[in-house]
Structure formats: structure tokens, C-alpha cells
Structure 1
């Protein structure tokens, strides 16, 4: 038993379990919002605060996640965050009104905001660069399956049980992961972490939260809404001030000097383009399929699900393609092919064979999945272990901003063109062109990512490309040299 529970396997099990519940929680609530509104006797628009509160609270704690992990220990911080998230899930299920449900969702966001960067730091400190391509096979599960399973699970639970069950489902995964990690996860603390960079926190937390709020609410309330443009403007001013402050601090909360690392800087931008394009497409296409092509919600979910299957298969291909083609080629090919698939998706209509569409979405998972996997492997290739906590924090912030920016731009595209039009006889009908243009914009994000990926040098990521040396091979090398 002790041999099986080596630190690396324990790390993978706890990380996958924690990331699965967090990733699923990001999509599981959307389907249930209408039911929650009806049961709690609030207008449907008011229930949107549940997602806004979650994402904003997540953004507030993100900047200090790396420092907390280094100061308190990654095991302690990670398990504390998972406990907060799981406990808040249980409390959400007992909420009797929108106010208490929102409070518990905010607490959930605090746990979720700490989990991702601290978990990534633990992961990349556990596995050296040359082994990260191989381990990516098991770590794709929360990225690929959880977001796709979320709406399906939510729909089934809401229809057959209650919306409260969408929070119960986190408990059978979260509680065992906490106990498992408590007994077998290894602690890691970094020396000379220093004190909390208070000015950095006071600028980054509200700055990021206000920008996220503006990006989320802009498409809903309009960019001319005072609440949207005022919060966005203040957030940008705070983040601009943050840059000046952090560059003058010896041990900054957000180490902007990491952006001097060419590979880390470039892969971060590539990641933002990939997430903006992929999640933008997964937002626009289901709307088009339901509203413009008259598919049911169930058919839409089943049609988009092959993308998650493609992602899983891609995770098995990355350890083979990554060292042979190099990260640059994998990313560029993945971006260009996926952009062409998005263009093809923009041309489908009500007469298109559903299996052809499913095949296209499956291919999206195959090609873009390899790009995403390669980015995660290459990004931290030249980051030393001591800087890993702050590097994963910065990377997690970019990963949150990418989808928010993508959804804001694509939502704005739909609003600008208009999702409905009046035909020749005066009847209102869906405007398919708006969705098609939005999908082309999503393809544009991917082509931008391909251009940025061209700047990557495979030599910078050489540590992740070479094969790990097995103990037996290491012993045999001196003998072979003498012969």
C-alpha cells in the first residue's frame, strides 16, 4: 500500500479530484439558474449574481494564492482551499434565499481561487520538466470532462431531484480528496518568502475583480452602463498602478519580472488566445444550435460533448507529438486546423447532418487539446521551483482573463449585429449571420494565438522535450562509456 501511494501518485489523485469539482462547478449552475429563481421567488436576471459573486471573489484571492502556498505550505493551503470549497458547496445546498446562497457562492469562489494556482505549483514541483508531458495524460480529466459533464449532470439533477443536488455532488469527491491528501500528501514550504506585499494585494485584488466584473456584466447590461464602464475604468487604473508598484518591490505579490522570461511570457499569451477562442465557441455555438437552428437543449448538449472526448484523446497524443514535433509546431498546427474547423462550423445550417457537426467538435478537442496540453507543459519549463508559486498564480490569472475577454468580445459581436431580424413579411426570426460572424471572431482568436506561437523557440523548452533517464540507464551509461 505504501509503495503504491508514492508522493507523485498521491499528488495526481488529489489534484485531479480537486480540479474536477472546481471545473464542473463553473458550468453546473447555468442550467439550474431558472429553477433556482422560481423556487427562491426572485427574477431570473437577479440569479445572475450567483455567477458574478463566484467569479469576482475568485479573482480577489487569486493574486495572493502563490504567496500563501509558499508561506504556509502548499499542502496546508491546498487542503484548506479544498475544505472551504467543499464546505461552501454543502452550505449552498441548504440556502433558503438568494442572499445566503450568494454568500456561500462567494465563499466557494474563495476556495476555488486558491485551489488552481496552488495545485499547479504543487504539481510542477513534484514532476520535473522532462516528465510533464507524460503526466499530462491523467491531468486532462478535469479540463476535458468536468466542464462538459456539468450541464448534463445539472439538467438531470434539476429535472429528477432538486437544484440543491448540483451542490451535493461536490461532497463525494471533495471529502475523500481532503482526507486522502491530509494523510498522504507531502508538505512543501519555500524559504525566504518574505512578508505579504500589502500594496500589491490592495491594488491587484480589487483591480482584477473590477475588470472581471466589467467583462462579465458588459455583455448583459451594455458597455455604456455606468456600473460597467466605471468599474472597468477603475479596475484598469488600479492594475496600471500595480505594475509600477510591483516593479519597485523586492518580493512582489505578483512577480512581473517573470514576464521577462520569453517562454513563460509567450505561452501565457498563447494560453489566453486558446481559452478565449475555445470557450467563446462553446458559448456561441450552443446558442446558434438552439436559437437559430431550433435544436433542443439535450441535442445541443449531446452534440457538443464529443469535444470533451476529443480533448481526452488529445491528452494521450501529447506525450507522443510534443517531443517529436516540438511545442511550437504542435501549437501552430493545432491553432490553424481548429480555426478552419470554426470557419466550417459557422457555415452549418438546419440541414447539416448532426454527426458531421459532432465530428467537427470532436476534431476541435483533438487539435486544440494538444495545443492546450503543450502550453501547460512548456510554460513552466524554465521556471525554477522557488518561483513556481508566483508563476502559477500569474498563469491562473491569465487563464481567467482569457475566457472573460473572449466571452465579452463575442457577446458584444452578437449584440452589435443582433441575434434576431425581421423578414420580408414582418415576422421576427433568428439572425443566423450574427452567430456565424461571432464564430469567425472566435477563429480569429486562434489565428492570433498561432501568430504568437510562432515566436516560441523549442530550444527554450528543451528540458520538457528530452526523455527522462531511467535509473537503470543512468547506471549503465558509465559502463558504456568505458567500453
Structure 2
């Protein structure tokens, strides 16, 4: 039955929560899959007899697919309708997950991960569009807090679930787990989402697609090759980065000409949106890049199992769970420029502890710092997204959320690659062990041997204890140096955050003429 009121209720009602359930299920699959796979990389190395650089493409291939398909989402949502497109994305992701579990070699696994990414890339921007349209006036902040649930469950549940499934069953189950969730999400979507009423088809920007999607993929391919190559001057790094950057720049210059560009950069004329996206991008480079190294520290320096490393990361998600609902409500009532800087300071305070890590730093201190960082995180990401979307018209929301997702994806990839390169270069400065080489013939450093000895008793028994202790201390210092970069970048995020809205604004969606939009009719 349809319901409509002259004003949307202040609280989120059952109809909105019904739609939110669909979106959260899809987002959980997409985000959980990234964090689950991150703890499985050492397992892939053993199972497929591959190098770390080779198995890392199971993450990179997924990212490249995301970058390729996200720009198409805004147009496709208008052309085909959000329900139809969302169910197609769920189907692609679920099929890709099942195929991943059948992979016999690393090449097949990377290929199937690309198929997963084609579906996963549409889930988040579509989910943001569906939920923002469903909220109506005055409720975007609280709705963004609901959408933040999978962003919490990913960092908390991903490493724990991945570690447990690998240890209790096999690596295949980190992909098969998506099959029942995907089926439930598809059935739920069919009944819960409104019937599509797609608008008359806008002309598709083929020229824009030929520049933007390959440009993003080429640029991120170069960035993702950095950890393996170790330097920007490597051909496989700078050539695709340059080609990709030129294509993206060409798209930016071209995108203001067509009436319906693939990615509507005209939206950045909205000062609120542009400042929010810059703040979100800088924050993502700093926090997400260094954040992926937290479990690596527990695994490589402290010798923890994948399950234990996942459990040690849980305080961060718990902290975010405390503040995210509060941050969502405040974002509807208080300008985000008055709250986000304080949340960023909390993140910086927790981050500072990791700049001091050693081989025996107290777990109580580290977990407490992760909890404080989580508190700050819950008051940062969703309020910024709320600020970005709340002044857009109803028609602009799909394209605005697409723009946000692309910038966040690029920033996350750049941050991850940058932190990986810094850490790798730091570790490579460790003294080489004379006369010892790896199976590929490369020299072995003290730090590399010490990290390997954490999970291989044969290495630990073959080398002197003082050498291993020296190498482990060097490795811990390398992590600390890398965390300093993340800490400084987090502080730099305060600069664009200072320009976030500090005065009360109209917190409702606008219609295409700029007038308050009528509440969305829910079924």
C-alpha cells in the first residue's frame, strides 16, 4: 500500500527500514568480501604456489573492476531503474563468488574476482541512491548511519570470519559464504524494493566511457603495481599511470560539454559537495591505506594467527558502532563542520600509538587505541557523506553517490599502494643475510627472515636467535615509520575539514528545480 505525507516523519519508519535491509545485505557482501580476502592472501600463496605479488592481484583485479563499472552506475540507474540494476549487480556478485570457489589456479581466481567486482562496484553507489531517495526530507544523516552498518561489520567480521573459515574449513568457503546471502538478498529485493519507473533514456556518453573507465583502470593498475615494482620509475608503474591520468584529464576537460556526461562533474560547483569529497578523499588515503597494515602488524610482527589478528581488530569496529548512530543523528541537526574535526582528532590520537609500536607493545594499549580510532571513524565517514548528498536534488543523488564512490575508490587504492610501498622499501633496507637466498634466488634480509620465522618453525630453527630478534625489531620499526605517514596525513585531513559547513543548512533533498522534494512514495 502507498503512503504519503506532507512531511516525512522525523524518525526512520518501518518502510524505510525494509528498504535499508536490502541495501545493507548487499553492502555487507561487497565490503565483507574485501576484508575476508585480505587475510587469505598467505593461504593463496601456499595453495597456488604463487608469489605475494601474484596473489595480491586477487585484490587488485576486484578493485580495477569496481573502478571500471562505478562510472556507468549513475546513467544505468536512470535508464533501467534502481531495482532492476541492483538485482543484476547482486546476481553478478553471487555468481562471481561461486566461481571463485572453483578456481584451480591463481589466474582463474583473479578472473573470477573481476566478475565479482563488476557486480560489487554497483552495489554501494546504487545502495546509497536507493536509501537516500527513500529517506525523504530531514533524515539523510540517520539513514547514512544505517548504511554505515556494513562498513562496521566489514572491518570487524571480515578478518574474524575469514580467519575462522580458513582454519576450520578451507579457503573455498570465504567465497561460498556469499551464495546463501546473495540468494536471500535477491528474494528480499524482489519483494521489498519499489517497482522501477525508469525515466526516458538519456543519451549514453560513449566517448566519456571510452576515456573514464579505461583511464581509471589504467591509473589504478599502475598504482597497484607499485608495491611489486618498489619505485615509480618502473615501466609497469609510470606508463599505465601516465596513460590513465591523461585519459582521466581528457575526460574532465570534455565532461562539461555533453548535456548528460558519464560522470557529472558539474555537481562539484556545489561547494558543500566539493569540500566534502576532498575531505573524504584525503581521509580515505590516510586511514584506509594505513588501516590495512594493522592486521599485518599482528600477523607478521606478533606472529598471531589469522583468527587472532581478526579478533584484535574488533575494538575498532566496536568503537565505530558506538558513535556512528550518534554521528548520523547529529549530522541532521548540527553542521558537520562542527563535529567532524573533533572526530578526526580522536582518530589521530589513537593513530599516534601505532607510530610507537615495537615487538612487545601492550595489546591493551593497542586495542584501546583502535577503539578510540573507531570512535572517531564513526563520527567522520557517514557525516561527511551526509553533508555531500543532502543539498543535491532528487535527480542528482544517483550521480552524486557515483561521484563519491569513484573518488573514495581511487583514494583507497592510492592510499593502500602508497603505504605498501613505504613499508616494503623500509623492510628492504634491513641488512642482507650473507649466503642466504630465497627460492627465487633473491637475497634474504634479516627483517624478511624474522617475519617468515613467525609462522615457519624451520626458518626459526635454522637462523641464530640474535639475528631473528634484530630483524624483528627492524621490521617493527618499519611498521612504525609507515604509521607515521598515516598519522601525518590524518592531521592534514583537518585542513579541508575546516571548510565543511559550519552553519545550519536546509537538510532536505531538493527536487530538480531546487524546491523541497515531496516524500518518496513507499510500497
Could you say whether these structures have the same fold, taking a TM-score greater than 0.5 normalized by the shorter chain as the test? yes
Is 1:205 matched up with 2:213? yes
Confirm or deny: 8 A CA contact 2:145 2:382 kept in the other structure: no
Q: 1:17 aligns with which of 8, 22, 25?
A: 25
Q: 1:144 aligns with which of 152, 159, 162?
A: 152
Shift of 1:225: 2.2
Is 1:165 matched up with 2:173? yes
Q: Distance in 1 between matches of 2:49 and 2:419?
A: 31
Is 1:333 matched up with 2:342? yes
Q: What value does the CA root-mean-square deviation take over the aligned residues?
A: 2.5
**Cα deviation code 1:380-430 (max 9, x no counterpart):** 01110111111111110011011112122222322343366349x875444
Q: 2:384 aligns with which of 375, 378, 397?
A: 375
Q: Distance in 2 between matches of 1:98 and 1:215?
A: 21
Q: 1:392 aligns with which of 401, 406, 415?
A: 401
Unaligned runs of 5+ in 2: 4-11, 432-445, 447-465, 510-523
The number of equivalent residue pairs is 464
Distance 1:262 1:190, change over 3 A: farther
Mean CA deviation greater in 450-459 or 21-30 = 450-459
Confirm or deny: 8 A CA contact 1:75 1:188 kept in the other structure: yes
Confirm or deny: 8 A CA contact 2:335 2:501 kept in the other structure: no
Tell me the residue number matched to 1:472: none
The SS at the match of 2:101 is: helix
Q: 1:445 aligns with which of 485, 489, 514?
A: 489
Q: Distance in 1 between matches of 2:105 and 2:493?
A: 43
The SS at the match of 2:40 is: helix
Confirm or deny: 8 A CA contact 1:346 1:439 kept in the other structure: yes
Unaligned runs of 5+ in 1: 466-483
Tell me the residue number matched to 1:468: none
Q: Distance in 1 between matches of 2:53 and 2:293?
A: 20
Q: Distance in 2 between matches of 1:215 and 1:129?
A: 40
Q: 2:277 aligns with which of 259, 268, 271?
A: 268
Distance 1:36 1:410, change over 3 A: closer
**Cα deviation code 1:172-224 (max 9, x no counterpart):** 21111111111231134453551110010000000001111122221222223
TM-score, scaled relative to structure 2: 0.83
Q: Distance in 1 between matches of 2:330 and 2:341?
A: 13
**Cα deviation code 1:126-179 (max 9, x no counterpart):** 112411222344322210112331222122112221211111111121111111
Distance 1:116 1:358, change over 3 A: same
**Cα deviation code 1:282-325 (max 9, x no counterpart):** 22333334434555544432222110111111122214443554
**Cα deviation code 1:37-84 (max 9, x no counterpart):** 443454454323322221111211111111001100011001111111
Is 1:116 matched up with 2:121? no
Matches within 5 A, 1:82-481: 82-189=90-197, 191-222=199-230, 223-323=232-332, 325-418=334-427, 421-422=430-431, 428-431=471-474, 432-459=476-503, 461-463=505-507
**Cα deviation code 1:4-31 (max 9, x no counterpart):** 9964222101000000000011121232
**Cα deviation code 1:207-248 (max 9, x no counterpart):** 001111122221222223211111111000000100111111
Distance 1:304 1:42, change over 3 A: closer
Distance 1:376 1:129, change over 3 A: farther
The SS at the match of 1:249 is: coil
Q: Distance in 2 between matches of 1:292 and 1:72?
A: 50
The SS at the match of 1:186 is: coil
Q: Distance in 1 between matches of 2:499 and 2:13?
A: 41
The SS at the match of 1:123 is: helix
Confirm or deny: 8 A CA contact 1:117 1:392 kept in the other structure: yes
